[in-house]
Structure 1
Amino acid sequence: MKVYLILLLVVIPIITGGPIFRKSSVTTQKLVEKHGYSFEEHSVQTSDGYILGLHRIPYSPKVQSDEPRPIAFLMHGLLCSSSDWVIPGPENGLAFVLSDAGYDVWMGNARGNTYSREHASYNPFFKKFWSFDWHEIGLYDLSAMMDYVLYYTDEEQLTYFGHSQGTTTFLVLNSLNLRFNSKIKSAHLMAPVAFMENMEGPLTDIAALLFGQPNIWPELFGDMEFLPNTKLMELLGLTACRESSPIQFFCSNIMFLFTGFDYENLNTTLLPDILATTPAGASVNQITHYLQENNSGYFRQFDYGFLRNPFAYGSTKPPEYPIEEIDVPIFLYYSDNDYLSSVVDVHRLMRTLKETTLRRAYRVQHPKWNHLDHIWGMNIKEYLHDAIMEDLESMKNS
């Protein structure tokens, strides 16, 4: 069993990340520019040395105005990238929708993904590069990128949009670094992930049991890369996952195992681009941290085990994130068929946030809406984007 785990999580990522399987040719820039939108790429260095790719759609070709544009900052989920927001195209991609609504759109990329694989001192081939989880992404990556955006645009506030891990990292940053509370006009969190005790799915219990143990797993495989983006994945998408492929259903079923089954809203024409850009790479520690949340029932920092926790935190248990301290207008968007962000856990998050902070919790009115439908769902305007635009409008008068 141990040998197979090593092959799966060590050898395969190394092979698929090698030069023979170079990065996919599908990029956020190409996905944006093919629809006639302007694109900019910026680089930001964090206080701990990671160099992040930051992507911008400064204006929409459909909006002819020289008026200052409010800032929309979008942060992707686990194993994803800025490409998430543009893959569905101008009608359904949230980055395009916000750009058409007059926003100056910025899309972040977390350390370790396709666009953020540089460091001032470490190479991603070395273990030290991968010594992080989503705690550091929230505390260092988000803060560096948002500070850069506000400085570059000479604005005082931005509107935040996060999906999945992009919601987790928002809660991490704004609970531990309260200075950002005044810099965010409102936060719109899709498929919010904080408490995970009721995470579902056929593989959840097995994964949490095997990989969510603080005293074993991090010591063996913690500081390593998990599923980088490669040319191999792009070829897989073009061959096995295109619409004419007789085995296309395998692609959707693999995704559904983790996120919730929803054939009705899966736009199969997007699968080649999804496979070409996702997974975009992450640290094994990010996966482990989420599985620890499922095991413990708490939203707290990484558990290094009873031997190392006293050195890291001064106690045998990791500290919880004080999300009740957050003072940003928050809008939540969740659904009934989300394996990773269950209704019960979202309701617990709602009870934990300040009453004055939580402005609305919108439950998508579709019984099969799953975790990934929040970014790629076929009927996303009707079921989600209209609600988001209503909430944005409500903030104009607040």
Structure 2
Amino acid sequence: MVTERKFTLIRKYGYPCEIHRVYTEDGYILEMHRIPYGVNNTNRTSRPVAFLQHGLLSSSAEWVLMMPGKGFAYILAESGYDVWMGNARGNSYSRHHVSLSPDSSRFWQFSWHEIGYYDVPAMIDYVLKETRTSRIHYVGFSQGTTAFWVMTSTRPEYNGKIVAMQAMAPVAYIANAKSPLIRAVAPFTNSLERITKLLGANEFLPNGPINNFAGQVLCLEEALTQFLCTNLLFLICGYNEEQLNTTMLPIVMGHTPAGASTKQLIHYGQVHQSGVFRQFDHGWFSNKIKYGTFKPPEYIFKNVRTPVFLHYAENDWLSTPKDVDILYGKLPNAIKYKISLPKFNHLDFVFAIDARKLVYDRIINIMKNFDSVVTYI
């Protein structure tokens, strides 16, 4: 049902769209969405591939909820790209497994480590095979960047499959994160029993009737309760009322949050608390069994050889300038760009009124410089 709702939105504007399903090594079934060409730019041959990976509590919908000319997927399609949008395990579009049910606790035993180690590589390999191209562009937002650091540091062979990586609101080190959500969770992450009681043992903020009610009633522009929607978004990600298109809130809240495992949030809380970007901390005894060490291993950034472009904002409560500087210092091949608008926040990267002017046009200009490197098999 959620897929049909999204496809109706895309097709409403005349864009072609496709559904693809991918199986991971550990049995999760992921749904991908593709816009192979644009409405105005209909050339279908030799289009370089842009792979988009969404953020925490979100889905591929975040790239198309804004109308053509505003939503990044539409802009990329009109700029000559074959656009593929991934979905991480557990969100609205990827709630299937070859043997596990999302009603079982075992289905939810993953964090963003598994998304980076299993999901993103599986989707990239599928896209390369389907498009018969040698390398693709990777665009990640928030957790979509975290998954990329996991993939390229633990499976460095995937550096050779990415022509360049555009990191919007990059998230790795988050010791300086101001988000009340992360700061509230972090002190409890050393006790998995306490934190799962607080957040839920399996799934955190799934998409469902509450979202639909919020989108259709609470968030309407004329509703007195609309401030609840905007304040919730600002509370998590930073405040920038000027760039928020309030008429789009019903659509946004109808698709976001899209669900995630509780362990994804716990893992971020652990990184915030420790100040170290490392694998999931299961406790010293379980760590010794799983990793061979009492502490979880750190991700090795020297393995990330792909050219990386970090796009960050001053008013981002999750990806702060201080933390981006730490990440920048670790990456062997990176350039960083600060958004010129001081109030620009985390969600503005996907939902801001002026996102195209402030972010997307620059990203596309960078991507165009790498298009000649792509070859077709």
Normalization by structure 1: what TM-score? 0.90
1:148 to 114, 126, 134: 126
Deviation at 1:397, TM superposition (A): 6.2
SS across alignment from 1:27: helix
Determine if contact 1:50/1:119 at 8 Å carries over to the other structure: yes
1:388 to 358, 363, 370: 363
Determine if contact 1:24/1:233 at 8 Å carries over to the other structure: no
- Rounded Cα–Cα distance in structure 2 between residues aligned with 1:155 and 1:259: 36
2:110 to 132, 142, 146: 132
Structure 1 residues 218 and 177 mapped into 2: Cα distance closer, same or farther (>3 Å)? farther
- Rounded Cα–Cα distance in structure 2 between residues aligned with 1:314 and 1:279: 36
SS across alignment from 1:189: strand
Q: Does 1:59 align with 2:46?
A: no
SS across alignment from 2:166: strand
- Rounded Cα–Cα distance in structure 2 between residues aligned with 1:209 and 1:105: 40
2:155 to 171, 177, 196: 177
- Rounded Cα–Cα distance in structure 2 between residues aligned with 1:50 and 1:107: 17
1:31 to 3, 9, 18: 9
Determine if contact 1:77/1:166 at 8 Å carries over to the other structure: yes
| Corresponding residue number in structure 2 for 1:369 | 344
- Rounded Cα–Cα distance in structure 2 between residues aligned with 1:396 and 1:70: 7
Deviation at 1:304, TM superposition (A): 0.7
| Corresponding residue number in structure 2 for 1:160 | 138
Deviation at 1:193, TM superposition (A): 0.3
SS across alignment from 1:83: helix
1:216-365 correspondence to structure 2 within 5 Å: 216-217=193-194, 224-354=202-332, 357-358=333-334, 360-365=335-340
Deviation at 1:251, TM superposition (A): 0.5
RMSD: 1.6
Runs of 4+ deviating beyond 6 Å: none
- Rounded Cα–Cα distance in structure 2 between residues aligned with 1:130 and 1:98: 33
Q: Please tell me the residue identity of whatever aligns with 1:384.
A: V
Deviation track 1:295-349 (CA, whole Å, cap 9, x = no partner) reads 0000000001112110111111000000121110111100000110110000000
Deviation track 1:172-194 (CA, whole Å, cap 9, x = no partner) reads 00111011111000100100000
1:71 to 25, 49, 58: 49
Deviation track 1:362-395 (CA, whole Å, cap 9, x = no partner) reads 1000111100000001111111112112211332
Determine if contact 1:218/1:304 at 8 Å carries over to the other structure: no
SS across alignment from 1:318: coil
- Rounded Cα–Cα distance in structure 1 between residues aligned with 2:290 and 2:200: 16
- Rounded Cα–Cα distance in structure 2 between residues aligned with 1:242 and 1:276: 11
Question: Percent of pairs identical after alignment?
Answer: 44
| Corresponding residue number in structure 2 for 1:48 | 26
Deviation track 1:210-266 (CA, whole Å, cap 9, x = no partner) reads 3x2255446767750111111331122111101111221111001100100110101
- Rounded Cα–Cα distance in structure 2 between residues aligned with 1:157 and 1:25: 28
Q: Please tell me the residue identity of whatever aligns with 1:390.
A: N
| Corresponding residue number in structure 2 for 1:213 | 190
Q: Please tell me the residue identity of whatever aligns with 1:393.
A: K
Determine if contact 1:88/1:270 at 8 Å carries over to the other structure: yes
Determine if contact 1:24/1:276 at 8 Å carries over to the other structure: no
- Rounded Cα–Cα distance in structure 1 between residues aligned with 2:192 and 2:38: 50
Specify every segment of 5 or more residues in structure 1 that has no aligned partner in the other structure, as ranges.
1-22
Deviation track 1:63-109 (CA, whole Å, cap 9, x = no partner) reads 13243111000000001000000011111111001000010000000
SS across alignment from 1:308: helix
Structure 1 residues 215 and 78 mapped into 2: Cα distance closer, same or farther (>3 Å)? closer
Does 242-251 or 115-124 show the bigger shift?
Answer: 242-251
Deviation track 1:37-69 (CA, whole Å, cap 9, x = no partner) reads 001001101010000001000111211324311
Determine if contact 2:37/2:44 at 8 Å carries over to the other structure: no
Specify every segment of 5 or more residues in structure 2 that has no aligned partner in the other structure, as ranges.
none
